[in-house]
Chain A
Amino acid sequence: MFKLIKQSPVSARIGMLIVGLNLAVALFAPLIAPYEETGVVGDVWETSSSAFLLGTDHIGRDLFTRMVYGARNTIALSFTITGLSFFMGVFMGFVAAVKKGWVDQGISRVVDIIMAFPTLIFALMVLSIMGPSVPTLIFTIAILDSTRVFRLSRAVAMDIEVLEFVEAARLRGEGLWWIIRHEILPNAMPPLMAEFGLRFCFVFLFIAALSFLGLGLQPPLADWGGMVRENAGAINFGILIPLIPAAAIAVLTVGVNLIVDWFLHLSSGLHE
């Protein structure tokens, strides 16, 4: 593992640095943040000073504190959703690949229909019916996202499923779960890991977009997309405050993408 990281190219190291920093900030948020998450401590849109590192937001909360807690909320939410979507997608994909027949047909057709919808429109419609609460948000995006995971994991599992060792396990009389857990999952890991990164980016940007539209995490919880929305008016006075959370979103996405690129490069076997 360490050897692998030592050999990594500069771009992947930058990516790891970005992701590592963000994770550290998210984990130790209460230790890093100088103020309370929702505490009003200053004037509206103050410029940066020794008291307020990045200035204050539209109702006088410390922007640095909001950014730190925002990292925690947004990353935790995206991570939960990606995890859930992977769990569902991989599970269904593997079952479809191993069972084949009508199980495969059934799941595949449902996935086709969900994928025929534009994702954002689907999510907006569900949110308008159920109302924007955190569990609704998690399940809606996880289900939408799991369709993409399903397609990939089904394709990967189909390739593995025809190999001799799976056949041997079948002849030994092993059950469905044993085959999925011991034969298919370990061999499907590399492409799924890279996909996890890509999916995380997608979910993260999606949450940011929904929060920006005012339909994601609800205030007073800090959230990067929501912070852009709340402070959007400042841009007309030439104040850069809404760009700070927007830039944070962009930087984290680029960071994850850099790592994914390196990972894809490694697993494709193209060693230059």
Chain B
Amino acid sequence: MENLTQLIFKRCLASVATLFVISIIIFIGVELLPGDVAQAVLGQQATPETVDAFRKELKLDLPPMVRYGAWLKGVAHGDFGNSLANGRPVADQIGWRLGNTLFLALLTSAIAVPLAICLGMLAAFYRNTLFDRCISISTLSFISFPEFFIAYILILVFSIQLNWLPSLAAVNENMGLGTRIYTVLLPAMTLTCVVTAHMMRQTRAAIINVLASAYIEMAQIKGIKRLRIIVLHAFPNSLSPVINVVALNMAYLIVGVVIVEVVFVYPGLGQLLVDSVAKRDLPVVQASGLIFSVVYILLNLIADILSMLSNPKLRQSRI
């Protein structure tokens, strides 16, 4: 058991190191800007005096090491500086939007994870039949489709033809949970289509892998129903790869929301990032890029730890 704690500790340490390096890269990225930020933002027509004043305001006259320290300290206190576009603190803009993005991701996983596991079990149950083949063809094509293609098809069907759901996910702060879910159902459905495919294929493969074991044969000989074997005997033992792929897909979801948010004009962090990239509002880009990276790395870490915990082989390995 001690081995396992060591392993997890090492993995956490590696993540912390990665986070540190990434914060440096994100910071240096802005330094690499040809000319400097002040010049780039103010444009070619700005007088040298304005540029100088602006440089002072951004503290660009201090050495990079000092500025990195100050920036990191600010970030740790939740202060990301001020937006270049409108001068408001970045943290104010990000807080609410981050909540929206997480809400969309959570809603999606609440739909997608049970759906993918059920479909995976069904596909394993009816394997090599027409049903299985239909599911595997449709999931393969969902993997190949760009997100916006799925999004526009869903908009066309559910909000233009049937007029059931709104095509714009315009949420605001004083919305009840019910209305909120109704408003973001279409983006959540789009993301579900994208992530379900991977998770379902992995579940199917993991269960079929286990089905060849001796204890499954034993259960069959005892005369237990096939569905019961799959749900109660095979599934618990294929949890390790399933948990892993679920966590990895959550990480993908956090990034995949960017495009879906833009399609549905959903006020999330992804849309803010894209807008800021177009406006070259660097503090906002830095902050949202950092948040996305941190969440992504944390989810990857969770995926690794969970798969270590649920895999007896990894529990004994010495790396």
Which parts of B133-175 form the interface with A (CB within 8 Å)?
140-141, 143-149, 152-153, 155-156, 160-161, 167
Give the one of B149, B255, B300 with max A CB within 10 A.
B149
Q: In the bound complex, do residue B300 and residue A116 qualify as a contact, i.e. CB atoms below 8 Å apart?
A: yes
**A208 CB-CB contact with B under 8 Å:** yes
A228 touching B148, Cβ below 8 Å: yes
Interface residue? B233 (CB, 8 A): no
A residues within 8 A CB of B285? 124-125, 128
CB distance from B33 to the nearest CB of A (A): 5
Given contacts A117-B293, A121-B273, A215-B277, contact A129 B32 (CB under 8 A): yes
Set A121, A128, A236, A249: member contacting B149, Cβ < 8 A? A249
Among A22-30, A57-65, A154-162, A238-246, which stretch is in contact with chain B? Answer: A238-246
Indicate if the CB atoms of B149 and A126 lie closer than 8 Å: no
Q: Is the CB of B282 within 8 A of A213?
A: no
Chain B hits for A126, CB < 8 A: 29
**B189 nearest CB across to chain A (Å):** 16
When A and B form their complex, what is the total count of cross-chain residue pairs whose Cβ atoms lie within 8 Å?
121
Instruction: Give the distance in Å from the alpha carbon of A125 to the alpha carbon of B22 in the complex.
Output: 12
With a CB–CB cut-off of 8 A, which chain B residues contact A113? 18, 21-22, 25
Cα separation A126 to B277 with both chains bound (whole Å)? 9
Q: Is the CB of A129 within 8 A of B30?
A: yes
Select one of A119, A125, A205 contacting B29, CB under 8 A. Answer: A125
Q: Does A41 contact B (CB under 8 A)?
A: no
B contact residues around A128 at 8 Å (CB): 276-277, 280, 282, 285
Task: Report chain A residues within 8 Å CB of B259.
Answer: 209, 212-213
Q: Which residue of B lies closest to A240 (CB)?
A: B156
A95 to B205 CA separation, bound complex (whole angstroms): 35
Q: Is the CB of B255 within 8 A of A120?
A: yes
In the complex, chain A residues 101-120 whose Cβ is within 8 Å of any chain B Cβ:
112-113, 116-120
Whether B103 is near chain A, meaning CB under 8 Å from some CB there, is: no
Residues of B within 8 A of A236 (CB): 160, 167
Q: Which residue of B lies closest to A112 (CB)?
A: B18
Q: Which chain B residues numbered 237 to 296 have a C-beta less than 8 Å away from chain A?
A: 251, 254-255, 258-259, 262-263, 273-274, 276-278, 280, 282, 285-286, 289, 292-293, 296
A117 pairs with B22, CB closer than 8 A: yes
- Residues of A with C-beta under 8 A to B289: 121, 124-125
CB-CB under 8 A from B278, the residues of chain A are 214-215
Contact A254 B141 (CB under 8 A): yes
Asked if B46 CB lies within 8 Å of chain A CBs, one says no
Given A125-B29, A209-B146, A214-B278, are A246 and B152 also a contact pair (CB < 8 Å)? Answer: yes
Residues of A within 8 A of B293 (CB): 116-118, 121
Mask for A125-151, Cβ within 8 A of B = 1, else 0? 111111100000000000000000000
Interface secondary structure of B, over-half rule = helix
| CB-contact partner of B146 in A116, A117, A240, A246, under 8 A | A246
From DSSP, what is the main secondary structure of chain A's interface residues? Answer: helix
Q: Which residues of B contact A225 (CB under 8 A)?
A: 146
Q: Which residues of A contact B145 (CB under 8 A)?
A: 250, 253
Contact B22 A205 (CB under 8 A): no
Please report the total number of A residues contacting B with Cβ < 8 Å. 40
Chain A residues, CB < 8 A from B262: 212-213
Within 156-208 of B, Cβ neighbours of A (below 8 Å) are at 156, 160-161, 167
Closest CB of chain B to A50's CB: distance in Å?
A: 26
Instruction: Decide if A243 touches B255 in the complex (CB within 8 Å).
Output: no
Contact B32 A213 (CB under 8 A): no
Q: How far is the CB of A55 from chain B (nearest CB, A)?
A: 16
Q: Judging by beta carbons under 8 Å apart, are B152 and A235 in contact?
A: yes
Select one of B25, B147, B273 contacting A124, CB under 8 A: B273
Instruction: Say yes or no: A213 contacts B274, CB within 8 Å.
Output: yes
Contact digits for B218-234, partner A, Cβ 8 Å, 1 yes 0 no: 00000000000000000
Nearest chain B CB to A231 CB, angstrom units: 10
Residues of B within 8 A of A124 (CB): 258, 273-274, 277, 285, 289
Knowing A116-B300, A213-B259, A250-B146, say if A238 contacts B160 (CB, 8 Å): yes
| Min CB gap B200→A, angstroms | 17
Can you pick out 21 interface pairs between chain A and chain B where the beta carbons lie within 8 Å of each other? A117-B25, A118-B255, A121-B293, A124-B285, A129-B29, A129-B33, A130-B33, A131-B280, A205-B146, A209-B259, A212-B259, A213-B259, A213-B262, A215-B274, A232-B263, A243-B153, A249-B146, A249-B149, A250-B149, A253-B144, A254-B140
Chain B residues in contact with chain A, CB under 8 A? Answer: 18, 21-22, 25-26, 29-30, 32-34, 140-141, 143-149, 152-153, 155-156, 160-161, 167, 251, 254-255, 258-259, 262-263, 273-274, 276-278, 280, 282, 285-286, 289, 292-293, 296-297, 300
Further pairs besides A118-B251, A124-B289: 9, Cβ < 8 Å: A113-B18, A124-B274, A125-B285, A128-B276, A128-B282, A214-B274, A228-B148, A235-B160, A243-B152
What residues of chain A have their CB less than 8 Å away from a CB belonging to chain B?
112-113, 116-121, 124-131, 201, 205, 208-209, 212-215, 225, 228, 232, 235-236, 238, 240, 242-243, 246-247, 249-250, 253-254, 257
7 A-B pairs closest in CB distance: A246-B149, A128-B277, A253-B144, A118-B255, A250-B145, A128-B285, A121-B292
